[in-house]
Amino acid sequence: MIQAIKKQIERIKAKGATYVDTRWYPFEESNQLLMLNGNLKDASSTRESGIGIRVLYKGAWGFTASSDMSDLAALFNRAFDNARVAAERVTFPIRLAEKDAVQASFTSPCEVDPFEVPLAEKVAFLKDMDTKLNQEGVFLRMGGLNFVRKHIVFADSEGSEIEKHVTEVFAELQVRGQDAQGTSQERKFRLGQQGAGTRGWESIDRNLFLENAERIVREMKQVLSADDCPKEDRSVILLPGIMYLQTHETIGHALELDRILGYELAFAGGSFVTLDDFGKLRYGSEKLTARADATVINSPGSFGYDDDGIPAQNVTLIDKGILVGAITGRQMVEEANAKSKRQIFKGSGGANRATAFYRVPIERMTNINIDPGTDGTLDDIVAKTEKGIILDGDRSWSIGSNREQFHFATEIGWLVDDGKVIKVVKNSTYKGPTVKFWNSLSAVGDRSTWEVRYVDNCGKGQPNQTMQLGHGIPVCRFDNVRIGE
């Protein structure tokens, strides 16, 4: 098949195309299980295969995709014709940043293929977790498993040929209860890692999940009988269960270069960041160094090569507080450099990805990480906090249309006074203007506080593309933040 594809790429190139690439998916499979209050609510599987073809002609993209690969020539002709029609209307001719041709392969780290594990074993795991979660005060208990496996072969007209085998494992436990006011309270546990190791069925570690099942029930019960979060200004200490979302929404999405250039405006909003800001904007305090790092060994944000065929990169986004980089692909870096009349970006950051063979790649987060700092462990940070609140677990979130401000509610809060944890509070919230908030970053935890959180449901694009990625984040403290309203 790959020889036939390469022959077609050459044929379309000979017709005048500037660039052609294809992503052939021999298969992509998913398997989802959901147990709700002891009942298996969902056990579904999907399997699809096909090819997506991009053709660049006279500065315009043409795309087509199909599961039926019996007439490859017709498919390639359609992609070329689409590009020809688009070329008549193009306002800003597309150019692609230079890249080297690569012949390579990538396999994500996996010991036990979750698709080889019998259904009965997966259901038994969820049943055990359900038994553990089934305690007094819990009115809803949920266990979810989500597995993805795909085989992708990329080829382009510049001589690249890349084969990828990717396996993903996502898992979540959740409990809900009702407080005296009738408000639903919740606590979750999601599988994450330290950035090393593997992510096959072996990462569904029974003991790890049992310990966390016990913990989330205990913490949710504490929330049920807790006082409300006070309305005042305090330092907020964000644990990874909310720090990942803070990073995702106010650094990750804000720094997607296509969004900065205005391409997402109609869908999920723009970004307050402008091209002038690169190299200048003080995005955070000196303690903040953030990166888009697709080289983390074990994370769904590490995929070897992006859908432009660019090898995984570790790109600095914010260097000691100063904005220096963005989440980029080959097309947008050229457009940004041209529009700003300076070379902000030296080349693609390797972050152009499509969710399926039948979608076009767009700029997506890889692993949007924050470097561990020098302020010690969580206990060290708490001990040096006069008036604060520790927050964990995403409960609700709302973001300004250009991500210039945010409001997050968390599952749990622990008030801190004079360096000591005083009590648990419920209905905890915090809010702020994005740049002012990151500039109030006053403590960054060390490596012991740093975790990679997996995200399997990041949405972007029209039509929507759901993407898997990661966030490697430490515990962080921010000062003078409005909480409780």
Residues binding Zn ion (CB under 5 A): 458
Q: How far is the CB of 319 from Zn ion (least distance, A)?
A: 23
Give how far the C-alpha of residue 93 lies from the chain's centroid of Cα atoms, to the nearest Å.
30
Q: Is 194 exposed, middle or buried (0-12, 13-18, 19+ CB in 10 A)?
A: middle
Of all residues in this chain, which one has the CB nearest to Zn ion in the complex? Answer: 458
Name the minimum Å distance from CB 365 to Zn ion.
7
| Cα distance between residue 473 and residue 208, in whole Å | 20
Tokens of 79: 């992609």
Structure token pair of residue 263? 């391409």
Relative to beta strand 387-399, strand 232-238 is parallel
Nearer to Zn ion, 172 or 417 (CB): 172
**Owner of token pair 């041709």:** 101
Shortest separation between residue 83's beta carbon and Zn ion, angstroms = 30
Cβ-based nearer residue to Zn ion, 106 or 267:
267
Give which of 372, 288, 291 is closest to 328, Cα–Cα.
291
Judged by CB, which is closer to Zn ion: 82, or 250? Answer: 250
Beta bridge partners of 39: 36
State the DSSP H helix or E strand holding residue 245, giving kind and residue range, or none if neither.
helix 240-247
How many secondary structure helices (H) and strands (E) does the chain include?
9, 24
Q: Which of 315, 394, 390 is nearest to 352 (CA)?
A: 315
Q: How far is the CB of 252 from Zn ion (least distance, A)?
A: 7
Identify the CA nearest to 166 among candidates 292, 4, 306: 306
216 vs 458, beta carbon nearer Zn ion: 458
User: Crossing angle for the helix pair 119-133 and 206-224, nearest 10 degrees?
Assistant: 30
CB of 434 to Zn ion, least distance (A): 15
Residue closer to Zn ion (CB basis): 264 or 371: 264
Nearer to Zn ion, 219 or 456 (CB): 456
Q: Smaller CB distance to Zn ion: residue 12 or 351?
A: 351
Q: Whole-angstrom Cα distance, residue 43 to residue 129?
A: 16
